[in-house]
Chains A and B, each alone.
Chain A
Amino acid sequence: MAKISSVKVDSKIPEGPLAEKWTNYKAHQKLVNPANKRKLDIIVVGTGLAGASGAASLGAMGFNVLNFCIQDSPRRAHSIAAQGGINAAKNYQNDGDSVYRLFYDTIKGGDYRAREANVHRLAEVSGAIIDQCVAQCVPFAREYGGLLANRSFGGAQVSRTFYARGQTGQQLLLGAYSALNYQVSQGTVKVFTRYEMLDLVIIDGRARGIIARNLVTGKVERFAAHAVVIATGGYGNAYFLSTNAMGSNGSAALQCYRKGAYFANPCYAQIHPTCIPVHGDKQSKLTLMSESLRNDGRIWVPKKLEDAKALQQGKKHPNDIPDEDRDFYLERRYPAFGNLVPRDVASRAAKERCDKGFGVNNTGLAVFLDFKYAIQRLGEDVVRQRYGNLFDMYEEIADTNPYKEPMMIFPAIHYTMGGIWVDYELQTSIPGLFAIGEANFSDHGANRLGASALMQGLADGYFVLPYTIQNYLADQIQVPRFSTDAPEFVAAEKAVNDKIAKLMAIKGTRSVDSIHKELGLVMWDNVGMARTKESLENALKEIDRVEKIFWSDLRIPGEADTLNIELEKALRLLDFIEIGRLMAYDALNREESCGGHFREEHQTEEGEAKRDDENFSYVACWKYTGEGQEPELLKEDLNYQYIKVQQRNYKN
Chain B
Amino acid sequence: MDKNISFTLKVWRQRGPKAKGAFETYQMKDIPGDTSFLEMLDILNEQLVNENKEPIAFDHDCREGICGMCSLYVNGHPHGPATGATTCQLYMRRFKDGDTITVEPWRSAGFPVIRDLMVDRTAFDKIQQAGGYVSINTGGMPDANAIPIGKDIAEEAMDAAACIGCGACVAACKNGSAMLFVSAKVSQFALLPQGKVEAKKRVKAMVAKMDELGFGNCTNTRACEAECPKCVSISNIARLNREFIKAKLKD
Contact = CB atoms under 8 A, between A and B. Distances in A.
Interface of A: 53, 56-57, 60-61, 71-78, 80-81, 90, 92, 127-128, 130-148, 164-165, 167, 169-171, 174, 177-179, 181-182, 184-185, 191, 193, 216, 245-247, 279-280, 282-285, 287-288, 314, 392-393, 396-397, 399, 462-463, 466, 509, 511, 513-514, 555, 557-558, 563, 565-566
Contacts of A60: 137-138
Contact of B144 (A74, A81, A131): A131
B42 A282 contact: yes
Interface string B110-124: 000011001011101
A178 B134 contact: yes
Contact of B141 (A77, A128, A288): A128
Interface in B32-71: 32, 34-36, 38-39, 42-43, 45-46, 48-50, 52-55, 57, 59-69
Contacts of B54: 557-558
A139 B188 CA distance: 8
B27 interface: no
Interface in B132-155: 132-139, 141-145, 147-151, 154-155
Q: Max chain B CB contacts within 10 Å: which of A142, A283, A287?
A: A142
Rank and list the top 3 A-B pairs by shortest CB-CB distance, nearest first. Answer: A146-B148, A60-B137, A178-B133
A137 B62 CA distance: 24
B161 interface: yes
Given A137-B134, A462-B138, A563-B57, A73 B129 contact: no
A73 B123 CA distance: 10
A565 B57 contact: yes
A284 B63 contact: yes
Given A136-B136, A142-B149, A245 B68 contact: no
Contact of A396 (B62, B91, B149): B91
Q: Max chain B CB contacts within 10 Å: which of A72, A76, A392?
A: A72
Interface stretch (B81-89, B96-104, B237-245): B81-89
Contact of B69 (A72, A140, A466, A511): A72
Interface in B147-204: 147-151, 154-155, 157-158, 161-162, 164-165, 188-189, 192, 194-195
A144 B153 CA distance: 10
Given A132-B138, A137-B195, A139-B158, 20 more contacts: A60-B137, A72-B120, A72-B122, A74-B125, A76-B67, A78-B67, A131-B142, A137-B157, A137-B188, A142-B154, A164-B158, A181-B128, A182-B134, A282-B32, A282-B35, A285-B64, A509-B50, A511-B49, A557-B55, A565-B55
A225 B250 CA distance: 45
Contacts, number: 222
Contact of A181 (B122, B132, B141): B132
B61 A247 contact: yes
A279 B39 CA distance: 12
B2 interface: yes
B223 interface: no
A164 B42 CA distance: 33
B10 interface: no
A215 to B, nearest CB: 10
Interface size class of B (residues with CB under 8 A): 35 or more
A167 B162 CA distance: 8
A147 B151 CA distance: 8
A466 B129 contact: no
A576 B62 CA distance: 18
B138 A181 contact: no
A165 B84 CA distance: 16
Contacts of A566: 49, 55
A179 B132 CA distance: 9
Contacts of A139: 154-155, 157-158, 161, 188, 192
Contacts of B136: 135-136, 179, 182
Contacts of B85: 396
Given A78-B62, A246-B60, A557-B54, A137 B39 contact: no
A134 B144 contact: yes
A392 B84 contact: yes
Contacts of B89: 393, 396-397
A83 to B, nearest CB: 8
24 contacts: A57-B137, A73-B165, A75-B125, A76-B67, A78-B67, A131-B143, A133-B144, A137-B192, A142-B154, A147-B145, A147-B148, A170-B162, A179-B136, A179-B138, A245-B63, A280-B32, A284-B42, A285-B64, A287-B63, A392-B84, A396-B89, A511-B50, A555-B52, A563-B57
A246 B62 CA distance: 6
B39 A134 contact: no
Contacts of B93: 399
Contact of B133 (A132, A146, A179): A179
B130 interface: yes
B66 A132 contact: no
A164 B161 CA distance: 10
Nearest to B84: A392
Contacts of B48: 557
Contacts of B53: 557
B63 A177 contact: no
B138 A466 contact: yes
A133 B194 CA distance: 11
A397 B39 CA distance: 13
Q: Max chain B CB contacts within 10 Å: which of A140, A191, A279, A511?
A: A511
B13 to A, nearest CB: 13
A513 B188 contact: no
Nearest to B142: A131
Given A81-B62, A137-B157, A284-B39, A148 B144 contact: yes
Contact of B66 (A92, A130, A170): A170
Nearest to A171: B161
A245 B151 contact: no
Contacts of B142: 131, 135
A398 to B, nearest CB: 8
A57 B138 contact: yes
B145 A81 contact: no
B42 to A, nearest CB: 6
Given A78-B67, A131-B142, A463-B139, A177 B128 contact: yes
B114 A132 contact: no
Contacts of A288: 64
Nearest to A461: B138
Nearest to B114: A216
Nearest to B118: A563
Given A246-B63, A397-B89, A509-B50, A132 B141 contact: yes
B192 A287 contact: no
Contact of A513 (B46, B67, B130, B134): B46
A282 B148 contact: no
Contacts of A509: 50
B141 A134 contact: yes
B32 A145 contact: no
Given A135-B134, A279-B34, A282-B32, A75 B61 contact: no
A246 B36 CA distance: 14
A230 to B, nearest CB: 19
Contact of A185 (B52, B114, B124, B130): B130
Contact of B122 (A73, A174, A247): A73
